[in-house]
Amino acid sequence: MDSSTPQATPRAAQLGQIQSLVDELASKLQRSVQVDTPAFYAFCSSPQYGEVDNERVFNVLHREPNPEPIPWLVANGVQESRDPVRVPAHKEFDLLPRLCVPLWEGEKLCGHIWLIDSPAISEADLEIITSYRRPIIDLMAARDETFVRRVAEMREIARDVTLGLDGSLAHAVDNNFLPRRGVIRIHQLTIREAAEAAVTTDAPERLMLELLRFRRRRPFLVTDNHDGLTIVERSDDVAASQSLFDALQAASVAVGAQIVSRGTSTINELSGARNTARRASFIATVASLLGQETLTWEDSGAWRLLLGWELTPATVSAISPAAAALIAEGSQFLWETVLEYLDNARNVTATADNLFIHRATLHYRLEKARAVLPQGVLDDGWESTCLHAALRLHAALNTVP
């Protein structure tokens, strides 16, 4: 390797210098070479040499990974090994055998060098490949200095938006952090370590940094907090939003983070950004309590009444003494029947079907409940709504997800 390789400086030309090294290495070996991020997002790919499979075609065309093989690649040690890893072929994923050379800067994984290992790469060629590792790492580290400044700006704008500061949304749009059109949604994600991690940064921060490393087809805002991420995105349809969360899922696997739950709320003229962020955070907590991956404010029904309340047994009694009396009666069948009845908007047929009981049995249970509850509480009105919300919370607190 030529020792006169230019030293890295934090400017846009670094990406071009990495691309030149990738092209040079591919030409020497007469094999295709690709460099990606720790989450497997390709950002430098050489011209095609030799064999090719659908996975390489997908990466080159889309500049994003196919999420299906990622857990299998991680299981082969490409995120932990300091030495080159030979990854075997995988017929189901249409993967030819590959050589992965992890790119480590101290304790930080910067990315990987990938080559198709068919025919098998010789030891002499492996020495050539590893000689390119240091120059590529130096250039990637220099690019990260600019990246760190962009992340700091992103954090500040995202927090301004979620606090509802005047002009913050317009500022985000004018600086291309959000599109000019579409529905604005705020997502709160609860994140935890997928396993015990030997890294200094916590899971939300690692996931945020990986997600921001390269801009997606539509811009978005993201910031981290003590136990998760807040994402602000603007899209015309659910499919566009889903593409962002597909990328998020792939990144979470790569950085060893687990997405426990996601709460979503849509900004409208009445709610404002600050209230919308508060709702998204609350609904993420509810989703985690229920063992659900996602939940939206708009679809959360009676849970919306509990915004601002602690999700504890004390709240059950505080918001509905009637619920506390029904639970104290001691029959789980009784309060579960009432909850199902209210969930089905007092539709007797649907309730009986969902409980797999005869309608006569349902009427018997409801009459028993009415004998315990204050008059009229089961039938309509605000107290009935509070009863519904309280029983929902009680059921969630007494169910193991």
pLDDT of residue 9: 34
**Bridging pattern class, strands 98-105 and 228-235:** unpaired
In the block, which residue shows the tokens 């315990």?
A: 372
| Residue of 264, 263, 328, 253 whose CA lies nearest to 290 | 263
Residue 11 has pLDDT above 70, yes or no: no
**Secondary structure letter of residue 357 according to DSSP:** -
Task: Evaluate if residue 266 carries a pLDDT over 90.
Answer: yes
DSSP 12-70: THHHHHHHHHHHHHHHHHTS-EEEE-TT--EEEEPPP-S---HHHHHHHHHSS--STTH
Amino acid 43: pLDDT: 82
Identify the band that residue 210 occupies on the pLDDT scale cut at 50, 70 and 90. Answer: confident
* Highest-scoring range by mean pLDDT, 213-222, 244-253, 335-344: 335-344
pLDDT of 296 above 70: yes
Q: What percent of the chain has pLDDT over 90?
A: 63
- Check whether 216 has a pLDDT greater than 60: no
pLDDT (average), residues 200-222: 78
Q: Please say whether the beta carbons of 190 and 286 come within 8 A.
A: no
Residue 336 is predicted with a pLDDT of: 96
Q: What is the pLDDT of residues 44-83, one digit of tens each?
A: 899 999 998 888 888 777 767 888 899 999 999 999 999 9
Provide Rg for the chain, Cα atoms: 27
Q: Is the pLDDT of residue 267 over 60?
A: yes
Q: Which residues pair with 90 in a beta bridge?
A: 95
- Partner residues linked to 104 by β-bridges: 109
Q: How far is CA 155 from the centre of its chain?
A: 17
pLDDT of 19 higher than 70: yes
Mean pLDDT of the chain: 88
pLDDT mean over 23-50? 92
Provide the phi-psi class of 376: left if phi over 0, else alpha when psi is between -120 and 50, else beta. left
Q: Which domains does the chain have, with CATH numbers?
A: 13-142 (3.30.450.40), 163-299 (3.30.70.270), 313-397 (no CATH)
The structure tokens 């959000």 sit at 178
For the segment 315-366, what is each residue's pLDDT rounded down to a tens digit? 999 999 999 999 998 889 999 999 999 999 999 999 999 999 999 999 999 9
Q: Mean pLDDT across the stretch 221-249? A: 88
CB count in 10 Å sphere of residue 175: 12
Residue 12 confidence (pLDDT) above 60: no
Given CA atoms 111, 69, 28, 102 in this order, what sign does their dihedral have? positive
* pLDDT > 80? residue 201: no
What is the pLDDT confidence band of residue 269, given thresholds at 50, 70 and 90? confident
Instruction: Judge if the upstream peptide bond of residue 204 is cis by omega within 30 degrees of 0.
Output: no
Q: 215: pLDDT confidence band, cut at 50, 70 and 90?
A: low
Q: Is the pLDDT of residue 386 over 70?
A: yes
**Interatomic CA distance for residues 376 and 383, integer angstroms:** 9
> What does the pLDDT read at residue 367?
95
List, for residues 277-292, the tens digit of each pLDDT value.
Answer: 999 999 999 999 999 9
Provide mean pLDDT across the span 127-133: 96
Query: For residue 163, which of 44, 278, 281, 8 has the smallest C-alpha distance?
Result: 278
59, β-bridge pairs: none
Q: For position 62, what pLDDT does the model report?
A: 72
Cβ neighbours for 163, distance < 8 A, ≥ 6 positions apart? 273, 274, 277
* Of 297 and 66, the one with more pLDDT: 297
Helices 203-212 and 133-162, interaxial angle, to 10°?
Answer: 100
pTM of the shown model: 0.75
Please provide the DSSP assignment of 228-279 as one string.
EEEEEEEESSHHHHHHHHHHHHHHHHHHTEEEEEEEEEE--TTTHHHHHHHH
Over the stretch 303-319, which tens digit does the pLDDT of each residue have? 999 999 999 999 999 99
Determine what percent of the chain is predicted with pLDDT higher than 70.
93
157, β-bridge pairs: none
